[in-house]
């Protein structure tokens, strides 16, 4: 397949996946499913893990449009907060912001956290695949970032890069938002799941989109 439908209303997630495809010369064009199918390409986020959320969403959309589809879900789990925000990761950072999470951790020594990404892919025959990746790390004491695309850092919008600006991977002294988009190809989380999914998609026969 040379094209795939991505179910998202986030054009920057779409750009991020296309960046990964182009960087690795995979040759898959990522198409926004909502531009073609509208509300049929939306799904409710329900599940205890990013894998459950992504797969449930892909099944819901595939059942309506009968076309190959991919979905992606990201969880940030902070250990001292009982794995919060979890499924609320994206709405929390968009409505409350990273500083709200830092305030919740004020005075907390245990700042261990895990960033998780899962991509679900359903092909034309309805066969399912799920690709996962996680990064262990800790929550920084303050926000730090450099200028970069919106999927990397909050340079352009407050919620840009989601929690990248306060997440430090184990073995690093920098937050994910202090890295370039090229560096995140090797050190990011979505970049890993997108690459796995895109390589699997490329092997599929071309459907009619």
Q: What pLDDT score was predicted for residue 82? A: 97
pLDDT at 209 over 90: no
Sign for the pseudo-dihedral over CA of 91, 89, 192, 179: positive
DSSP letter assigned to residue 206 = P
Residue 81 in 3-state DSSP?
A: helix
| pLDDT single digits (tens) 30-68 | 999 999 999 999 999 999 999 999 999 999 999 999 999
| Per-residue confidence (pLDDT) for residue 75, from 0 to 100 | 97
Specify the pLDDT at position 133. Answer: 97
pLDDT score of 150: 87
With a threshold of 0.85, does the pTM exceed it? Answer: yes
Q: What is the mean pLDDT of residues 113-118?
A: 98
Note the pLDDT of residue 208: 62
CA atoms within 13 A on the CB side of 45: 17
Q: Which of 11-15, 171-175, 192-196 has the lowest mean pLDDT?
A: 11-15
pLDDT single digits (tens) 157-193: 788 889 999 999 999 999 999 999 999 999 999 999 9
Structure tokens at 138: 């800790």
**Residue 97 neighbours by CB distance under 10 Å:** 16
In this predicted structure, what is the pLDDT of residue 207? Answer: 66
Give me the chain's average pLDDT, please.
94
Residue pair 56/46 in contact (Cβ under 8 Å)? The answer is yes
Domains and CATH numbers, the chain: 3-202 (3.90.950.10)
Q: What confidence tens digit (pLDDT) does each residue in 155-167 have?
A: 777 888 899 999 9
The neighbour count for residue 46, using CB atoms within 10 Å, is 11
Contacting residues for 2 by C-beta, under 8 A, at least 6 apart? 27, 28, 29, 202, 206
Could you give the residue ranges of the DSSP H alpha helices within the chain?
11-23, 33-37, 50-65, 89-95, 98-104, 181-187, 190-202
Please choose, from the candidates 38, 37, 36, 58, the residue with its C-alpha nearest in 3D space to the C-alpha of residue 46: 58
């Amino acid at each position: 397949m040379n094209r795939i439908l991505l179910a998202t209303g986030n054009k920057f997630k779409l750009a991020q996946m296309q960046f990964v495809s182009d960087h690795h010369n995979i040759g898959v064009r990522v198409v926004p499913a909502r531009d073609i199918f509208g509300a049929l390409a939306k799904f409710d986020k329900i599940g205890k893990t990013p894998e459950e959320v992504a797969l449930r969403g892909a099944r819901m959309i595939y059942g309506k449009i009968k076309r190959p589809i991919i979905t992606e879900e990201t969880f940030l789990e902070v250990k001292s907060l009982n794995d919060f925000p979890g499924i609320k990761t994206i709405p929390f950072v968009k409505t409350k912001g990273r500083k709200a999470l830092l305030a919740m951790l004020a005075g907390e020594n245990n700042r261990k956290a895990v960033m998780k990404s899962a991509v679900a892919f359903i092909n034309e025959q309805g066969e399912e695949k799920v690709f996962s990746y996680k990064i262990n790390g800790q929550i920084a004491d303050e926000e730090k970032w450099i200028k970069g695309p919106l999927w990397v850092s909050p340079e352009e919008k407050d919620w840009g890069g989601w929690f990248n600006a306060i997440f430090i991977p184990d073995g690093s002294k920098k937050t994910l938002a202090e890295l370039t988009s090229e560096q995140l190809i090797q050190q990011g989380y979505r970049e890993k799941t997108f690459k796995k999914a895109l390589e699997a998609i490329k092997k599929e026969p071309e459907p009619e989109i």
